[in-house]
Amino acid sequence: MSAQTQQGKALPGSLAANPLLAQWLRFKPEGTVEVSPGKVEIGQGILTALMQIVADELDIEPARVKLKAASTARSPNEGVTSGSLSVQQCGIALRHACAEARAMFVAAAAERLGVEAGSLAVEDGTIIGPENARTSYWELADLVPLDAPASGKVAPKPATARKYAGHSAARVDIPDKVFGRPRYIHDLKLPRMLHGRVLRPLTRGAALVALNEEAARAIPGFVALARDGNFVGVLAETEAAAERCLALLRSQAEWRGGEELPDEATLTDWLKSQPVETKTVDSRETAAAGSPAGHMRRQYSRPFIAHGSIAPSCALARWEGAGVHVWTHSQGIYNLRAELAAVLKLSPEEVVVEHAEGAGCYGHNGADDVALDAALLARAADGRPVRVLWTREDELTRAPFGAAMAVEIEAELDGEGEILRWRHELWSNGHTARPSRGSNPVLLAASELAEPFPHVVSTNPPLPAGGAERNAVPIYDFPAWHIISHRLLVMPVRVSALRSLGAFANVFAIESFIDELAAERGEDPVAFRLRYLGNPRARAVLEAAAGRAGWGSRRGGEGTGYGVALARYKNMGAYCAVVAEVEGEEDVRVRRLVLAVDVGEAINPDGVRNQIEGGAIQATSWTLKEAVRFDRTRITSDNWEDYPILKFSEVPAVEVEILSRPEESPVGAGEAAQGPVAGAIANAVFDALGVRVRSLPITRDNIIAAMELS
Amino acid sequence: MPGTSKAMAERVELRINGAETAVEADPASPLLGVLRETLGLTGSRFGCGAGLCGACFVLIDGHAVPSCDTPLWATAGKEVTTVEGLGTPEHPHPLQQAFIEEQAMQCGYCVSGILISAAALLRRNTDPSEAEVREALDRNLCRCGAHNRMVRAVLKAARGKGTA
């Protein structure tokens, strides 16, 4: 339930669900402010942006802000750190909570000093009145009751009064990382800690029919074997011993059955021939949509894509009496807690879930799965803490993937090739099977237990953000459109949320198709887009990217090409336009990407730039190289040679221009570049080679296939 | 045959970050495990266990090598340098300083190994071109897309060293 202000308006951001100020802020006697946000650091630099916001509203130096790891024992429940929403939800909540706290402290100071509140100023937490009368947040901490709900009546500072937000700040986590100090969950070492490893079949859902434990038990350092149905794990005193035990168990385990996978060679046809749930995403019809003189139809696709974090997933767990304490790099500690409680048959209060930083997280990866693995193995550890680390193979084959998609777009055109009607139809698994979104647990081991939970078929988050249908509605002012989404009701390949969800394929398809229409008319792709684009912020990013990239004076030909694309993430988040410059014949290399973005207020401009650069480079990798490989029984791309990603020598130059809009609401930057980058690269490939590649990735094989098709 | 080669712990002498040390370990076990688990040097990261990602790189006699794939015995008589041995907050290596100045990372998990590859490069080439930096870092994977910042930082560190 959402808390409301006294005027009946919902409190801003995550304050609505977590209105108590004490959940957000604690003033410590040593002169610091402890903040334990529910959103977590996943490599995106959110902690630094939050620190800037808190320092501004409280009028303190950023160094006084102490960010504490999120834990279900103390942090507000902010759901999942996903969807590029941390600044909108958590940052805005903190901004308002701090503004209220500051006002309460100033009122308390006025009373103590016997002066008007209006005569007081705050400097680095010291509250100063006329004739140098002084007190401070920390002196008054006992008098100010922060265990009260926010009123919603105190307005934060105007943008012009902010000292830190809006300016680039050095990230707080970087020094630890360059000096190699312990920082990640992988580095946590608890007293008497054991190491656990889990044995899993190559074929998902296979049954364990024979297991020889003797050899593993003979390894020095072996502690225990934990088995529950098809879930098997081993505990040892050292990591090396745990790995040796696992190798022995694996070599002598016999599995039978399991799920059959589709034929990789005909994946798009497979997507379009499965049982589906169909819905109309959006529909519009206006008088301007006259009768057509012609039409064009094209199909685009993307394969399954892996998260490919550089660190395998890791978790720690320790049973304490009837309850369990879990350390995790999950994006959603409360949802994970609910899910663990359901599987372990505990009440949520018996489970404490604490966040510790992992490596880069780009969606629902193996973090939640390994947390359950650790909790299950720790049951056999007699109260000792257990650390479980997945293998690289686990990470590339057993974590959920981003879903494969097929997108068909058809346009009805008038005699001049202008767009009258637009039809976008997509086939895909749902893009979310996150913990605690449905009635059954989704964690990997839950389906392996002696009393198994069924495999969950992923679904789509509700519109307007949507999942598979994210960004399926065009940003252009076409007179009429019809957008249809088919969600697969079977899921042989495990999928869930990956950065930008369906937006990657939808924007790739829309922006490719727009380019094809412009090419048919012989019209400049930027000019063609602008004629259909009424939204001034969308026009501004497109013009900025084109201007900075020198679009008007570009010179293609000779194996060099330029392409452009744009989108507004979720149709309600950040605007992003991209110009790509590519070179190549059979192997395509992206030479340069120029991006212009509008994220509203940019709290940490360098942080925004870093997120956009990173998103653009990752999207280049997806677009040029990445596809999960499989045969009929198993995922075969289980190492970095079989699942190659973009290398340093292949990374394009990336330029980012941020259109500054400090008065606009801040929106996230993390996912805005994914779709536009794919579209711009594909369009540039067409410009360079005259070949339209509609199946991602744009590899040599797919270019040759596209040449043969045309 | 797995299991037939019994793990035998022996006293193994190592020279790590300029200091002599000795551990009781199977000489065939990977260096990375000993660094992280026995010696508490967790700056070298586990990424793939197959020498394909670079997260665990250390310098052995100045060459960047995957410690996940290097048996302990192979370090005999050699100088091992981990990211902790490059510099400290008080006396940072020019590369560490440049990575901070350029904010050259996102999640940072790959950074230790990249600093090591860059340090090996600067030992053999004090004035690398951008293409040479990229080539030297090609064995290191970064998933967040912070490559260009890291390349800038390496070039900055190289230039700083040249003019200091």
User: What is chain B written as a DSSP string?
Assistant: -TTTS----EEEEEEETTEEEEEEE-TTSBHHHIIIIIS--TTS--S-SSSSS-TTEEEETTEEEETTS-BGGGGTT-EEE-HHHH--SSS--HHHHHHHHTT--SS-TTHHHHHHHHHHHHHH-SS--HHHHHHHTTTS--SSS-HHHHHHHHHHHHHHHHH-
A323-338 burial string, b = 16+ CB within 10 Å, else e? Answer: ebbbbbbbbbbbbbbb
A180 touches chain B (CB under 8 A): yes
The model scores a pTM over 0.90: yes
Interface residue A187 vs chain B (CB under 8 A) = yes
Chain A CB within 8 Å of residue B55 CB: yes
State the pLDDT at residue A85: 82
Mean pLDDT score, A245-263 = 96
Phi, psi of B11 (to 5 degrees): -80, 120
pLDDT above 80: residue A44? no
CB contact under 8 A, A648 and B26: no
The residue-averaged pLDDT of A476-491 equals 97
| Dihedral (Cα; A369, A374, A375, A377), 10-degree rounding | 120
Judged by a CB distance cut-off of 8 A, whether residue B135 touches chain A is yes
Decide if A391 contacts B49 (C-beta within 8 A). Answer: yes
How close, in Å, is residue B126 to chain A by CA atoms? 19
CATH number assigned to the domain covering A186-257+307-397: 3.30.365.10
DSSP label at residue A4: B
Q: Which residue of B has its CA nearest to A43?
A: B107
Q: Which CATH number fits domain A13-178: 3.30.365.10, 3.40.50.1820, 3.20.20.80, 3.90.1200.10?
A: 3.30.365.10
Q: How many CA atoms lie within 13 A of A107 on its CB side?
A: 10
Q: Alpha helix (H) ranges present in A578-696? A: 605-624, 674-689
CB contact under 8 A, B26 and A613: no
Mean predicted confidence (pLDDT) in B5-10: 68
Of the candidates B3, B48, B84, which has its C-beta nearest A248's C-beta? Answer: B3
Q: Is A16 on the interface with B (CB under 8 A)?
A: no
B52 has a chain A CB within 8 A of its CB: yes
Percent pLDDT > 90 in chain A is 88
DSSP element (H, E) containing A470: none
The pairing of strands A32-35 and A65-67 is parallel
Q: What is the pLDDT of residue A1?
A: 39
Let me know if A133 is exposed, middle or buried by CB neighbors in 10 A (0-12, 13-18, 19+). Answer: middle
B94-107 average pLDDT score: 96
* H helix or E strand, kind and range, residue A23: none
Residues 365-424 of A with CB under 8 A from B: 389, 391-392
Q: Which long-range contacts (CB under 8 A, 24 or more apart) does A213-221 make?
A: A213/A249, A215/A248, A215/A249, A215/A252, A215/B2, A215/B3, A216/A244, A216/A245, A216/A246, A216/A248, A216/A249, A218/B3, A219/A244, A219/A245, A219/A248, A219/B3, A219/B7, A220/B7
Dihedral angle of Cα A271, A272, A276, A278, to the nearest 10 degrees: 120
| Residue A550 confidence (pLDDT) | 97
Q: How is residue A409 annotated by DSSP? A: E
If pLDDT is split at 50, 70 and 90, which confidence band does B163 have?
A: very low
State residue A40 phi and psi, 5-degree precision.
-125, 155
Phi and psi for A668 in degrees, rounded to 5? -70, 160
Pairing of strands A121-123, A126-128: antiparallel
Name which of A2-16, A420-434, A637-651 the model is least confident about.
A2-16
Residue of A nearest to B153 (CA): A178
Region A377-393 average pLDDT: 97
Residues 231-260 of A with CB under 8 A from B: 238-241, 244, 247-248, 251
**Partner A contacted by B80 (CB < 8 A):** no
Looking at the predicted structure, is the pLDDT value of residue B7 above 70? no
Q: What is the ipTM of this complex?
A: 0.95
Chain A neighbors of B138, CB-CB under 8 A:
647-649
A654·B148 Cβ contact <8 A:
yes
Show residues of chain B in contact with A593, CB under 8 Å: none
Whether residue A42 has pLDDT greater than 90: no
| A178 contact B CB<8A | yes
CATH number of A521-710: 3.30.365.10
- Which chain A residues are within 8 Å of B105, Cβ to Cβ? 174, 177-178
Q: Are B60 and B80 in contact (CB under 8 A)?
A: yes
Averaged pLDDT, A568-592: 95
Q: Pick B110's closest partner by Cβ from A215, A220, A310.
A: A310
Q: How many contacts (CB atoms, under 8 Å) link A and B?
A: 180
**Contact (CB, 8 A) for A147 and A21:** yes
User: With 80 as the cut, is the pLDDT of residue A413 above it?
Assistant: yes
Q: Is a pLDDT exceeding 90 seen at residue A6?
A: no
Residue of A nearest to B2 (CA): A248
Q: What is the pLDDT of residue B6?
A: 53
In chain A, where the domains are located? 13-178, 186-257+307-397, 521-710
Which 4-33 residues of chain B touch chain A by CB within 8 A? 7, 26, 29-30, 33
Region of poorest pLDDT, from A77-81, B78-82, B123-127: A77-81
Instruction: Compare CB distances from A615 to B46, B135, B145 and report the shortest one's residue.
Output: B145
CA closest to A251 among chain B residues:
B2
- The verdict on B50 touching A (C-beta cutoff 8 Å) is yes
Which of B109, B144, B150 is closest, CB to CB, to A184? B109
Q: Are A246 and A469 in contact (CB under 8 A)?
A: no
User: Which pLDDT does position A65 carry in this prediction?
Assistant: 96
Question: Residue A380 and residue A397: Cα distance in Å, rounded?
Answer: 27
Q: What is the pLDDT of residues A330-369, one digit of tens each?
A: 999 999 999 999 999 999 999 999 999 999 999 999 999 9
pLDDT category at A169 given cuts 50, 70, 90 is confident
A446 touches chain B (CB under 8 A): no
Chain A residues with CB-CB distance to B7 below 8 A: 219-220, 240-241, 244
Looking at residue A46, its pLDDT comes to: 86
- Tens of pLDDT, residues A287-315: 877 789 999 999 999 999 999 999 999 99
B48:A392 CB<8 A: yes
Supply the pLDDT for residue A7. 52
Residue with tokens 């064009």: A296
pLDDT class of A2 with cuts at 50, 70, 90: very low
**Tokens coding A629:** 């490989």
